Chains A and B, each alone.
Chain A
Amino acid sequence: MPLLELNGVRAGYGPTQVLHGVSIAVGEGDIVSLLGANGAGKTTTLRAITGGVHWDGAITFSGRSLHHTSTEDIVRGGIAHVPEGRGILTDLTVDENLQLGAHLRRDGAVVRKDYDRVFEYFPILRERRRLSASTLSGGEQQMLALARALLMRPRLMLLDEPSLGLAPMIVKAIFNIIRAINQTDGVAVLLVEQNARLALELSTQAYVLEVGRIAVKGASAELIGNDSVRRSYLGY
């Protein structure tokens, strides 16, 4: 049984329907990419999973339906969602942002170890701990968002365009860390990306959304090699 399963999910904003029956599965410890053009419904899919948009159909996480569950409870159940725009609390310090990631945990000793690990991944955050999060650059904010998500000790991370607006070098570093987090902690990742090539190299499975429907799905390695899929949907 997959960790996360969407079945025929329809969702939208008011009268505008964005998703017209999306089915996706993410297995325990998998990295799955969700690709597609602007406006295809990638962000809406993630928002449906954490209850940020009204939806119907079926979404189950670890066997439990997420229908009528509040965002807070879904998140507390083990899903960390790094949203579009990263969701950094810019009125708070870097450290306070990190604390919020861990604020529900009761395993203090493990939290301290996780802090050390987070600072190993992102040494710059240790230097900036006391500064306001608003002073961070885009790349540093993305690091903070990932670090904070890691401190939540999730079973699944939803990452919405972690590469957006960042220099290629930084994107590469961040993707390496996503891979490392996945491998050491066994955290499953559902990755939304515009940068299809990068996402396919990182993930094992991939889905391509086209105007609210899954147009293509398969093993990432196969999609990379499939020229017609690449040309028609992935644009590189």
Chain B
Amino acid sequence: MQEFLQQVLSGIASGGIFASLALALVLIYNAMGLINFAQGEMAMFATFIAFLLLDRGVSYWIAFPLTLAVAFAGGILIQRIVIRPLERAPVLTLVIVTIGLATLINGVAGFVFGYVPRSFPSPFSVQTVNVFGAFTSYRDLGVIAVSAVVLVLIYLLLQRTTIGLAMRAAAHNPEASRLLGVRVSWMLALGWGLASAVGAVSGIMVAPIVLLEPNMMQTIIIYAFAAAVLGGIESPLGAVVGGVIVGVAVNLAGAYLVSGDLELAVALAIIVAVLVLKPNGLFGRPSVRRV
């Protein structure tokens, strides 16, 4: 029982990481009906920026928000330069563009930073602590806390502020929103900026665990896809719940059912099962539209 609880806690910690990246995917999907395949690579690149700052002796809690700010600006820049000229293009074109973007960012990171895995610091120690009889690490608790804070902040921004309202309006109905004076194109850019920053959180949280290198997000993004699909690709809350479920499920499966090498297969099985049994996910709405 105690070991089970430990596995669950550590699963929630991974879940927080998946949830952040899944939320990034959902933010962009909501804004333009597009899966951003470059989301993981963008997060990886942001993590390298955090690494550079830390390497120069900037303290962790300054480097962290600074990196998010850079990631935010980077997301907006990518939307303005690469995505905006294709605003009226079919979604498939945009999908291809994001795949190209993923390859490009991965290559640039490899070229600039090299492929040698680097250790990345965590502000939380790996010392164990007793929570309700289960032993977990301060690092896992820290990851859970940071993810929770970020997710709550995004929720408040979207649900409780005027700019968040305008972003949701622009995503749901661009034409009607324009007639209310909402600058739709900028709202989309803002969505990209936010997604990029939230994704960066997942990169920074996962880097101490998997080591920092250009390919580090390539499995994480699969888990994030699973989380987003499970939650219902349109629902920010679903992304968070989906992230935690996937994190716990994968962790438990790894501990009790399959060997660690097959954990990714569990995520893929979740994606397939959801698409077959409940294509709209846990929190998604059926995609029936009145014409």
Chain A interface (Cβ < 8 Å from any Cβ of B): 50, 52, 70-72, 75-76, 80-81, 83, 87-92, 96, 99-101, 103-104, 148, 152
Contacts and interface: CB of A to CB of B under 8 A. Distances in A.
A211 to B, nearest CB: 26
Interface of A is mostly: loop
A81 B184 CA distance: 16
Interface stretch (B40-48, B107-115, B169-177, B275-283): B169-177
Nearest to A76: B181
Contact of A81 (B165, B166, B179, B182): B179
Nearest to B166: A103
Nearest to B179: A81
A101 B181 CA distance: 9
B179 A92 contact: no
Interface residues of B, number: 17
Contacts of B168: 91-92, 96
B180 interface: yes
A99 B169 CA distance: 11
Contact of B172 (A75, A80, A92, A103): A92
Given A91-B172, A92-B172, A99 B165 contact: yes
B181 A89 contact: no
A75 B173 CA distance: 16
- Counting chain B CB atoms within 10 Å of each CB, which of A50, A72, A88 scores highest? A72
A100 B180 contact: yes
Contacts of B183: 72
Interface of B: 162, 165-166, 168-169, 172-173, 175-184
Contact of B182 (A83, A88, A91, A100): A100
Given A87-B175, A89-B176, 4 more contacts: A52-B175, A70-B178, A101-B180, A103-B182
B162 A103 contact: yes
Contacts of A152: 180-181
14 contacts: A75-B179, A87-B176, A88-B176, A89-B169, A89-B177, A90-B173, A92-B172, A96-B168, A99-B162, A100-B165, A100-B180, A103-B180, A152-B180, A152-B181
Contacts of A80: 179
A71 B178 contact: yes
Nearest to A85: B176
Given A99-B162, A100-B166, A100-B169, A87 B179 contact: yes
Contacts of B172: 89-92
B176 A75 contact: no
A23 to B, nearest CB: 24
A82 to B, nearest CB: 8
A89 B162 CA distance: 15
Nearest to A145: B176
A96 B175 CA distance: 17
